[in-house]
């Protein structure tokens, strides 16, 4: 499974990148707004040190607007993936950009049928939002399994990018089901390292080592 960091915070992204946790980056309009920076500037800076796909989302809702904004965004760097919402105009824009060999991340997917449509439109990534389904009392992770089955049934090569991952358990479950990618905030990615028994083990080993009086 590959990891994308869901953030536009350069310091956080660099820290995760140094830990080998960044196969790519996803952003959305809320994340860009939180950064307090202009979208072109922040996406360009991310692309200067992240080699994998960097998703930048259009804000337009109509096809022409999406094409205009997506073209601007994809011109920033070769590894920009244009992110479009799962709407008829979004999937039309997806076809447009895929014909030009630009990566497309189809976002805001909440059903298996929507994911099927995105695959038929040639999406590079489909982003099913697990956490937001959980938020309204629906089993978000079931959607990942349904999409995996459908894509395997028909040999679609659209990558399943499990999104809205809020916990390390989300990431484990998505990996067990076979999602190709997961995108999560840097704090969740860094938490993948953590286990209380690792900390406890280090503590007891170091205490015994100190008592032995040895050094290496
Ligand atoms: C993915 O591309 C989205 O930016 C993200 O996963 C949304 O997560 P949230 O539901 O926690 O905001």
Q: Please, where are the H alpha helices in 36-80?
A: 39-47, 63-74
Please give the pLDDT value at position 199: 97
Give, using CA atoms, the residue closest to atom 11 of ligand 1.
Answer: 164
pLDDT digits (tens, 9 = 90+) for 172-195: 999 999 999 999 999 999 999 999
Q: How far is the CA of 68 from the centre of ligand 1 (A)?
A: 24
Decide: residue 121, CB within 10 A, 0-12 exposed, 13-18 middle, 19+ buried: buried
Ligand 1 contact, 164 CB (< 6 A): yes
Q: Which architecture, in CATH terms, is 2-212?
A: Alpha-Beta Barrel (3.20)
DSSP structural state of residue 163:
B
pLDDT computed for residue 76 by the predictor: 98
Ligand 1 within 6 A of CB of 105: no
Mean pLDDT rounded to a whole number for the chain: 98
The per-residue pLDDT for 173 is: 98
Look up residue 84 and give its two tokens: 């479009």
- For residue 164, the CA-to-ligand 1 centroid distance in Å is 4
- pLDDT tens digit sequence for 86-118: 999 999 999 999 999 999 999 999 999 999 999
Mind listing the pLDDT tens digit for each residue in 112-165?
999 999 999 999 999 999 999 999 999 999 999 999 999 999 999 999 999 999
Cα 2 from Cα 84, distance rounded (Å): 21
pTM above threshold 0.85: yes
Provide the annotated active-site residues. Answer: 83
pLDDT computed for residue 177 by the predictor: 98
Distance 33 CA to ligand 1 centre (A): 14
* 28 Cβ closer than 6 Å to some ligand 1 atom: yes
Say if ligand 1 is within 6 A of residue 6 CB. Answer: yes
Give pLDDT, residue 188.
98
Query: What's residue 183's pLDDT?
Result: 98
Q: At what angle do helices 140-154 and 168-177 cross, to 10 degrees?
A: 20
> Any idea where the domains of the chain sit in the sequence?
2-212
Q: What is the structure's pLDDT at 7?
A: 98
Give the number of the atom of ligand 1 that is nearest the alpha carbon of residue 6: 4
- What pLDDT sits at residue 71? 98
Tens digits of residue pLDDT in 200-210: 999 999 999 99
């Amino acid at each position: 499974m590959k990891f994308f960091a869901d953030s536009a915070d350069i310091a956080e992204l660099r820290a995760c990148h140094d830990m080998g946790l960044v196969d790519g980056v996803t952003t959305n309009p809320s994340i860009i707004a939180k950064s307090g920076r202009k979208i072109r500037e922040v996406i360009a800076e991310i692309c200067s040190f992240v080699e994998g796909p960097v998703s930048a989302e259009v804000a337009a809702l109509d096809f022409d607007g999406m094409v205009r904004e997506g073209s601007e965004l994809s011109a920033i760097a070769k590894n920009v993936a244009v992110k479009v919402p799962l709407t008829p105009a979004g999937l039309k824009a997806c076809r447009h950009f895929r014909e030009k060999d630009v990566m497309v991340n189809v976002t805001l997917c909440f059903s298996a049928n929507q994911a099927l449509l995105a695959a038929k439109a040639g999406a590079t990534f489909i982003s099913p939002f697990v956490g937001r389904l959980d938020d309204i009392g629906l089993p978000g992770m079931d959607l990942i399994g349904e999409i995996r089955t459908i894509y395997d049934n028909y040999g679609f090569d659209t990558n399943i990018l499990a999104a809205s991952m809020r916990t390390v358990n989300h990431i484990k479950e998505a990996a067990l089901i076979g999602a190709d990618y997961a995108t999560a905030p840097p704090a969740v990615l860094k938490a993948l390292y953590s286990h209380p028994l690792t900390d406890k083990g280090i503590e007891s080993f170091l205490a015994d080592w100190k008592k032995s009086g040895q050094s290496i």
